[in-house]
Structure 1
């Protein structure tokens, strides 16, 4: 396993002797950037195997286009069918889904929520675990 450093916009900028802001604009086809520069940026980006940092982009935009889904288990016909249709609908709307399983555990459900929030999802859809639905274990 190699520990190869991820290529950044700054790396592309340094290779072309332009600013990282100009690289970003070129990557997004900004009309203020010449076609020649856009082509050079995209060529160098490909040569350096540039992959956008989606988490950084989500933080910048305040939107990740990710929806977290929590189900008790994925190995049931019901939930696998629901997930398939949910993903199709969300994909059409420009979202991807992250699926987690609670295994019917309230504690695992809470950990899944924390993980999804840390991942900066735009929303969470949850089918609550039996432990969560059974409110008898909560103190009054």
Structure 2
């Protein structure tokens, strides 16, 4: 399976992507690999703005025709924005995992945590090892 792995993003072992959004914020979503594994997404549950999470805490769930999967916080922080678009139209997670299919924006508690995430090359190798 050929998946898209944008070079400018950071990645987690649970297949979330992270995009630095400035002002100590990051945007978070599910990778192309994750959405393909899930199949057609039919429901997304997101946290509330203002909720705070430690790294690796569950921040939401994604339901597909195949499975229910948890979405995890890649770093500790406070939710500052949620993507209402994917609640209304969950298929966006499949159609545009790196675009309109994003999940939340977090205000990062400790920017040093970002260095523990995988870069694109490391994530691609991680996917190869998982096959």
State whether TM-score is above 0.5: no
Higher strand share: 2
Could you say which structure has the larger radius of gyration?
1
* TM-score using structure 1 length: 0.22
* TM-score using structure 2 length: 0.23
Q: Which has the higher contact order (CA 8 A, sep 6+)?
A: 2
